[in-house]
A and B are shown apart, each in its own frame.
Chain A
């Protein structure tokens, strides 16, 4: 290889990444900056007016403070359930299912690509008063009358979100469990560790990153979703995303929508940061 061509090749290499990053810059970074700028503007006489006002942010905390808190709570509960069930499922696929392990992962992948709206619609059909679950409950005699309390509440939103996000939790955890060394587990057994001790002291410490990734993905998505609560949430299941969409597109209050978006992202990062710190601190040395 000649010396002259080496630097030329590396600049050529960097240029290859240019289109993707140009798209990122123009369609993502610039819009985020614009959105941030707009969050300090005001709406006067139905027209956006440039300003340096904190009105939109005050409005977020005064009007939507409660919703923000319950959104973070719903997101955390959803993410915790996803991590718990996801670990159970991934653990079974890796250690308990034998040759069926791959089939279980295929189930997770099918669910992953099962369609976002389709899943929400399916849960409405399952949980509604004249729906699938009520038909089973009545037919088996568990309930004398169809229950009208299954749908339009926080529980319905969390169930549907867990269904949607569980595959996103399973896959990173499984990815890490796969690289856990069988020899270490056998060694732990041979040295007299119980199944529970092996789990806590050998297996879980090795998939810490996967568990945190599973929590982060589930939490971020659940906290930012607005279609699931809008369609299944009713009164008690409302979440901040619904109001962002409403302020932005129905009321044309762009500053409020923009400010709420940044508060949502900041609050989400804060929750993830706290969970991350707890996670790191509990690490046994």
Chain B
């Protein structure tokens, strides 16, 4: 009976893991398959889809645009999110929790609604042209609350005595931050920035509404998805998987296991 139970648990968990990882594994495997169809049997190992991708100017344009969005988003969100976290550590939980929640509202409502709100603002009221800058604005809304949450969690176990000591010894607020706070929270900052980068790179709905013309990697993938089952999608998807999972894995290591 006991063994049967253990076996049942094993089966259930194996099914769930298969359900979660299977679709991603299929994409990766078929990016190296010579045939155009995502179906069995496999037709043989090939790097053709990667070759096709890397020789496409559109792919490189989309890649450049993705970096032009994700890098500034990660840097700006890390600055504004960290500043918020620093401000909130001086407040009691009853003051900081509602503020963090307010900052997080844009990630709790449908991205479609955030996106059309931005379009109405940009196009009708501000007459700002849609484009890279417009996308960065939208992505900041999604990433700065996450940075604030990650850094706040780090600040909870922060040694405040050293900070007070520095201030009492005459350090300016900037000096105290630069030489006392920053060294302690540096790993969390890098982790938060990578998380913001990964989220911006993957984001699609706000991007497609606010980019105007041109592509990022996600809208490039969407264009290919809509026209046909183009197997080079498997190759981009695999590259994106490596980048987002890689940066999040580093991010988690840095925020959890260090200093």
Interface residues of A (CB under 8 A from B): 1, 9-10, 12-17, 19-21, 23-24, 27-28, 30-32, 34-35, 38, 48, 85, 88-89, 92, 96-97, 104, 107-111, 113-126, 128, 130-132, 134-136, 139, 163, 166-167, 220-221, 223-227, 231, 241, 244-245, 248-249, 254, 257-258, 261, 264-265
Contacts and interface: CB of A to CB of B under 8 A. Distances in A.
A240 to B, nearest CB: 10
B140 interface: yes
A75 to B, nearest CB: 11
A166 B137 CA distance: 29
A114 B221 contact: no
A17 B167 contact: no
Contacts of A248: 116, 119
Contact of B113 (A14, A109, A224, A249): A224
Contact of B26 (A34, A104, A132, A223): A132
A94 B138 CA distance: 37
B90 A121 contact: no
A223 B218 contact: no
Given A23-B141, A111-B24, A254-B116, 5 more contacts: A20-B84, A89-B16, A116-B218, A118-B27, A224-B113
B30 interface: yes
B112 A244 contact: yes
A116 B118 contact: no
A121 B121 contact: no
A31 B209 CA distance: 14
Contacts of A15: 87
Contacts of A97: 13
User: What are the 3 A-B residue pairs with the smallest beta carbon separation, nearest first?
Assistant: A224-B110, A31-B117, A122-B23
B93 interface: no
Given A23-B141, A27-B141, A118-B240, A96 B109 contact: no
Q: Which of B16, B21, B83 has the most CB of A within 10 A?
A: B16
B112 A261 contact: yes
B204 A113 contact: no
A107 B221 contact: no
Interface in B74-88: 79-81, 83-84, 86-88
Given A9-B173, A114-B245, A34 B120 contact: yes
A119 B28 CA distance: 12
B contact face: mostly helix, strand, loop, or mixed: helix
Interface string B1-45: 000000001001100110111011011001000000111110000
Interface stretch (B54-62, B63-71, B97-105, B183-191): B97-105
Contacts of A12: 173
B159 interface: no
11 contacts: A20-B81, A32-B117, A35-B120, A88-B12, A117-B225, A121-B225, A130-B37, A130-B39, A167-B20, A244-B116, A261-B113
Contacts of B13: 89, 92, 96-97, 104
B141 A19 contact: no
B178 interface: no
Contacts of A123: 23
Nearest to B134: A27
Contact of B9 (A96, A167, A220, A257): A96
Contacts of B23: 114, 119, 122-123, 126, 163
Q: Which of A32, A88, A167, A231 has the most CB of B within 10 A?
A: A32
A44 to B, nearest CB: 16
B116 A16 contact: no
B12 A27 contact: no
